[in-house]
Amino acid sequence: PRSTPLYSRQRQMCIRDRYISTRDNSKEYSFEQVFIKGLADDGGLFIPKEVKKYSAEQIKALSNLSYQNLAKEIIYPFIGDFMTINELSDIVDRSYSVFRKDNVVDLIKLGDATILELFHGPTLAFKDIAMQLLGNFYEHYLKKNNKNINVIVATSGDTGAAAIDAIKGKKNMNIFVLHPHNKVSLVQRKLMSTVKEKNVFNIAIEGNFDDCQNLVKSMFADKEFSNLINMSGVNSINWARIIAQSVYYFYTYFQIKDDRPINFSVPTGNFGDVYAGYLSKKMGLPINKLIVATNQNDILHRAISRGKYEAETVLETNSPSMDIQIASNFERLIYDLNDFDDRETQKVMSGIKEDGKYIIPEDKMKKIDRDFLSASINENEVLDIIKEVYAMHNIVLDPHSAIGFGALKKVNIEGNNIVLATAHPCKFPEAIDKSIGIKPDLPDELKYVMDEKENYDIISNNLSKTQQYIKEKI
Ligand SMILES: *Cc1c(COP(=O)(O)O)cnc(C)c1O
């Protein structure tokens, strides 16, 4: 890469590779531990001990890089001695060679706004961008340490497919994906269940996404089980995913050539993607506002607009990848809001566990207001937005991306407004058909999945049954 001198300079100036837990910041972890464990033993989330800011000059030095070279620059300071820059460089290039766009993502003008298309990877959702990298990080780790691993992941539809594609056929590892039975779209399920590699296992849980996520959390907490099977997780709390996602905020910033403030509207479920935007801002990227766009499962909208973080029952909507009431990554923001105080964070989190809510104090709401806006979009609005955008611009947004677009309109903000398009519309043909009477086609190279034989097992929402199933398979 032409920018090698930059790596070492930034490495020294922007060390971000020592990690702590949001619930106990006295103990340090390496990137390797953070990546493999996913969640800290104390139940907290990993974050860098310190996120040093790039100077304006350092940011400028990144501005003309290809997406791949930018990714190397952004990610390297976070990973410490997990791998060398040459190893990272090779992994980034290989990971993104499977995308349908040379620069991984694409920017499309849509009236006053810009759509950031993040769905040009193998499973048609933004999650591929981080997950392809993670698959290769695992491979590197397993080779280096001569280990076996079982990845267990809960999915509301897109994570599972992206993780399976990234891990299928890799040596010394299996992947088990728990999806809520009958609550993911047919295309989403087929992208998971038609994969034939022997290290891939699909489980349909009779419950909703939060049930799946709770099962995975309980399996992690069960030390005897998780140690026995060398369990690892790739859910959106995994720090490696966050840093991979922050790259496209930088990349987009560099593509926008005028000086108005830049805002990102982010279709949000687990608060992972939008947190990556927040992290970019912490790294010094001049982002004005991050718009948290939710569907009717609007816990984050209620938190950000009214200071009330309180889970309600999960509603099934036409944007299933955001049908979530417990936004796991929000704890990382809670830690910042509480002035990096681990004890306070612990208190807030046990309050949420006990009373189901966190009433965010006035002074902390002021901090939220500096960086975030929010809006919630209901099912009918989603269909209307898809129709309107199609009529005006001849572009078909998927329901999640439509929520990003609709939220941007609702908050009514000036500037360079970017909407993250998080999935390809063909993943959600039912909703698109209902809105505009069209069923968008899968890209040619993926059409075959619709006719392939499916393979998945249905299990009740029960921890020991799920654990038993996994033990039998490995
Ligand atoms: C996962 C997902 C989201 C939500 O992302 P979070 O990081 O969980 O907030 C939005 N849209 C699509 C299509 C997704 O797959």
Distance CA 381, CA 175 (A): 37
For a ligand 1 pocket test, name from 422, 426, 427 the mutation site with the most ligand atoms within 8 angstroms of its C-beta.
Answer: 422
Distance CA 363, CA 368 (A): 9
Instruction: Kindly give the number of the ligand 1 atom that is closest to the alpha carbon of 127.
Output: 15
Q: What is the DSSP letter of 118?
A: -
Write down how long the chain is. Answer: 474
> Which residue, by CA, sits nearest to atom 14 of ligand 1?
321
Instruction: Kindly give the number of the ligand 1 atom that is closest to the alpha carbon of 268.
Output: 9
* Residue 310: per-residue pLDDT: 95
For a ligand 1 pocket test, name from 322, 333, 376, 420 the mutation site with the most ligand atoms within 8 angstroms of its C-beta.
Answer: 322
* Residue 92: per-residue pLDDT: 97
3-state SS assignment for residue 297: coil
* pTM of structure: 0.94
* Residue 4: per-residue pLDDT: 45
CA of 10 to the centre of ligand 1 (A): 30
For the chain, which residues score pLDDT lower than 50? Answer: 1-5
Digit-coded pLDDT (tens) for 228-286: 999 998 988 999 999 999 999 999 999 998 889 999 999 999 999 999 999 999 999 99
Map tokens 């619930």 to a residue: 23
Pocket of ligand 1 (CB under 6 A): 125, 127, 158, 236, 267-273, 321-322, 400, 422-423
Residue 292 amino acid letter: V
Distance CA 107, CA 396 (A): 14
* Residue 257: per-residue pLDDT: 84
Q: HSE (CB half, 13 Å, CA atoms) of 244? A: 28
Nearest to 124 by CA among 157, 149, 97: 157
End-to-end alpha carbon distance in the chain: 41
* Residue 410: per-residue pLDDT: 98
Instruction: Kindly give the number of the ligand 1 atom that is closest to the alpha carbon of 272.
Output: 7
How far lies 67's CA from each of 80, 102, 375, 474, in Å?
Answer: 21, 8, 30, 38
CA of 292 to the centre of ligand 1 (A): 11
Distance CA 270, CA 325 (A): 8
CA of 452 to the centre of ligand 1 (A): 26
CA of 27 to the centre of ligand 1 (A): 31
Instruction: Name every residue whose Cβ is closer than 8 Å to that of residue 468 and which is 6 or more positions away in sequence.
Output: none
CA of 161 to the centre of ligand 1 (A): 13
Furthest-apart CA atoms within the chain: distance in Å: 58
Instruction: Kindly give the number of the ligand 1 atom that is closest to the alpha carbon of 427.
Output: 13
Q: Which of 160-199 are b and which e, b meaning 16 or more Cβ less than 10 Å from the residue's Cβ?
A: bbbbbbbbbebebbbbbbbbbbebbbebbbbbbbbbeeeb
* Residue 3: per-residue pLDDT: 45
Report phi then psi at 88, rounded to 5.
-60, -45
Instruction: Name every residue whose Cβ is closer than 8 Å to that of residue 257 and which is 6 or more positions away in sequence.
Output: none
Distance CA 95, CA 353 (A): 38
Mark whether 49 is an active-site residue.
no
Helices 330-337 and 362-371: crossing angle in degrees, nearest 10, is 120
Contact (CB, 8 A) for 425 and 396? yes
> Which residue, by CA, sits nearest to atom 8 of ligand 1?
270
